Each structure stands twice: as structure tokens, then as C-alpha cells.
Amino acid sequence: MSGMSAHTTTTALLESLRDPAQDAVWREFDARFRPLLTALAVRLGLEVGEAEDVAQETLAEFVRAYRAGRYDRTRGRLSSWIISIARNQIARRRRAVGRDAGRRGESALADLSDTAHLTAVWEEEERHLIILRAMELLRAGRTSEAKLRAFELVAVRGVPAEEAARQCGMTVDEVYTAKNRLITRMREIVDELTAAWREGE
């Protein structure tokens, strides 16, 4: 399969990932899961560089295990399996640097055994990433730069419509129209991405 995108379903990604020659599949899988894994590891007490290493190690272990046939969808969600790999990698990293009773405290350690908390953190970071991807797709569309700027000023930054209109060379009515249209489109993109990412999950 070629032409993988942020809208590619999880099922399509997994089916294509079995073929090592499918570079586009790996790139999309990496783009989808690496930021989540890095954010999860940071939230669980690792430094950014360590979290990036954990993300790399988790993805590598996932691909090895997946291509070896060790993932069974009937036994649980894909995200749960990836989180469990990440949890093991984070625990190993903590042990390696002597953080089991270190400066981050016992509360950070408890997070590793709290599956509900790990899942909640994952889902929160996933929502954040989907919104960022949706903004990228919105910017890549055919909307004029002035309307996008007005939308970001009013809907994202909370700038008054009158000020946004002045900065963007638009009328206040045009600002409100752009804001409402782009909010609707943004919600549509978020829904599309969420459905694609969680399909078959």
C-alpha cells in the first residue's frame, strides 16, 4: 500500500506493516505513535531525551513482536499492547539510571502499575495529537491565509474579533464567518482522524 496518511485506519496500517518494504506504512505508524510514546514517558517522569529513546525502543520492539505474530486483537486493544511495551521500557530505563527510589518520588513509580492511569494519559495525549494533526490539515486546505489567521486569533488565542479583523484586513463579520466555518471543518477533521485512528483498535 502507498500513499499512507493521517486518515489511514489502524486496520490498514497493521495489515500493511507486515511487509518490511512498505516505507510509507512505517512512516505513518511512526508519526502516529512516536509522539504519544514520548509524551507518555515524559509524563511518567523521564527526561525528554530518555523519553525519545523509550519511544524508539518501544516501536522497534512492537514491530518485531507484531511481525512475529505475537499481537492478537481478540485479546485486547492495540494501544493497550503498545502501552505495556512502553511500560516495560520505562521501568527498564528507570532501573538503569537508579530512579526506582530516586528524586522523582514514589508517586511517579506508582503510575507504572496503574493501568487505568496509563490509559488515561495515553488517550489525553492522543486527543492532543489529533488536534495538532487536524490543524495541520486545516492549514493545508484551500482556506486563505487571512481566514486561517483570523480563526487562530479568535478561536484559539481568544483575541477579540475586532482586533483580529484589524490584524487580518477583514471585516468583523468576515472574521465571525471564517471562525464558524473553520470551527465546523476542524471538528469534522478531528472526528475523521479519531475514527480512523481508533478503527480496529
The answer to whether residue 45 is domain-embedded is yes
How far, in Å, CA of 119 to CA of 76, rounded?
Answer: 13
56: Cα within 13 Å, side-chain hemisphere: 7
Which pLDDT belongs to residue 198? 82
In the structure grid, which three cell numbers stand for residue 135, read together?
Answer: 490543524
The answer to whether residue 135 is domain-embedded is no
- Do 17 and 100 share a domain, yes or no? yes
In the structure grid, which three cell numbers stand for residue 48, read together?
Answer: 525528554
- Do 98 and 153 share a domain, yes or no? no
- Do 119 and 145 share a domain, yes or no? no
Which pLDDT belongs to residue 78? 87
In the structure grid, which three cell numbers stand for residue 40, read together?
Answer: 507518555
In the structure grid, which three cell numbers stand for residue 18, read together?
Answer: 507486515
CA distances from 150 to 33, 122, 144 (A): 31, 31, 10
- Do 103 and 150 share a domain, yes or no? no
Q: Which domain holds residue 188?
A: 141-201
Per-residue pLDDT of the chain (201 residues; tens, 9 = 90+): 344 566 777 788 888 877 777 777 888 889 899 999 999 998 888 889 999 999 999 999 998 888 888 887 777 788 889 999 999 999 888 777 665 444 454 444 446 778 888 999 999 999 999 999 999 999 998 899 999 999 999 999 999 999 999 999 999 999 999 999 999 999 999 999 999 888 766
- Number of independent structural domains in the chain: 2
Find, among 37, 61, 62, 196, the residue nearest to 130 by Cα. 196
Per residue in 112-127, is it b (16+ CB within 10 Å) or e — as a string? beeeeebeebbeebbe
The answer to whether residue 27 is domain-embedded is yes
- Do 167 and 114 share a domain, yes or no? no
- DSSP state letter for 75: G
How far, in Å, CA of 52 to CA of 90, rounded?
Answer: 11
- Do 111 and 157 share a domain, yes or no? no
Residues 79 and 194 sit within 8 Å (Cβ to Cβ): no
- Do 118 and 153 share a domain, yes or no? no
Which pLDDT belongs to residue 161? 97
The answer to whether residue 93 is domain-embedded is yes
- CA-CA-CA-CA dihedral for 192, 9, 116, 99, to nearest 10: -110
- Do 12 and 77 share a domain, yes or no? yes
Residues 157 and 164 sit within 8 Å (Cβ to Cβ): no
The answer to whether residue 131 is domain-embedded is no
The answer to whether residue 130 is domain-embedded is no
CATH number at residue 194: 1.10.10
- Do 90 and 56 share a domain, yes or no? yes
- Do 156 and 116 share a domain, yes or no? no
Residue at a domain's end among 63, 97, 125:
125
The answer to whether residue 191 is domain-embedded is yes
In the structure grid, which three cell numbers stand for residue 54, read together?
Answer: 523509550
